[in-house]
Structure 1
Amino acid sequence: MSKDSSARRLGAALLGLLQGHIALMAHELEDQRNQALRALLLGGLCFSFALLLLFGLSVLLLVIFWDSHRLAVAIGLCMFHGAGLLACGTWLVQSLRNAEAPFSATLEELQRDKEQLLP
Structure 2
Amino acid sequence: MTISATINRIISTVVAMLYTRLELVTVELEEEFLRFSSYFIYALIALFCGGVAVSLLIFLVIALFWDEHRVAVLLSLIAVFSAISIYIAAWLRTQMSNKPRLLEQTIAELKKDAELLRVRESDSEQEPS
Counterpart-to-counterpart distance in 1, 2:93 and 2:87: 10
For structure 2, the 5+ residue unaligned runs are 120-129
Counterpart of 1:31? 31
Counterpart of 1:14? 14
Counterpart-to-counterpart distance in 2, 1:50 and 1:20: 45
Counterpart-to-counterpart distance in 2, 1:59 and 1:118: 69
Counterpart-to-counterpart distance in 1, 2:15 and 2:76: 65
Question: How far apart are residue 47 of structure 1 and its match?
Answer: 0.8
Counterpart-to-counterpart distance in 1, 2:113 and 2:7: 18
Counterpart-to-counterpart distance in 2, 1:66 and 1:49: 25
Normalised TM-score (structure 1): 0.96
Q: Percent identity?
A: 23
Counterpart of 1:47? 47
1:53 alignment partner AA = A
Number of residues of Structure 1 aligned to a counterpart in Structure 2: 119
CA offsets per residue over residues 53-81 of structure 1, 9 Å max, x none? 11111111000000111100000000111
RMSD value over aligned CA atoms?
0.8
CA offsets per residue over residues 84-115 of structure 1, 9 Å max, x none? 11111111111111111011111111111112
Counterpart-to-counterpart distance in 2, 1:32 and 1:69: 50
1:82 alignment partner AA = S
User: Where do 1:65-80 residues align within 5 Å?
Assistant: 65-80=65-80
Counterpart of 1:103? 103
For structure 1, the 5+ residue unaligned runs are none
Normalised TM-score (structure 2): 0.89
Counterpart of 2:85? 85
Q: Which runs of 4+ in 1 moved over 3 A?
A: none
Question: How far apart are residue 5 of structure 1 and its match?
Answer: 1.1
- 1:118 aligned counterpart, secondary structure: helix
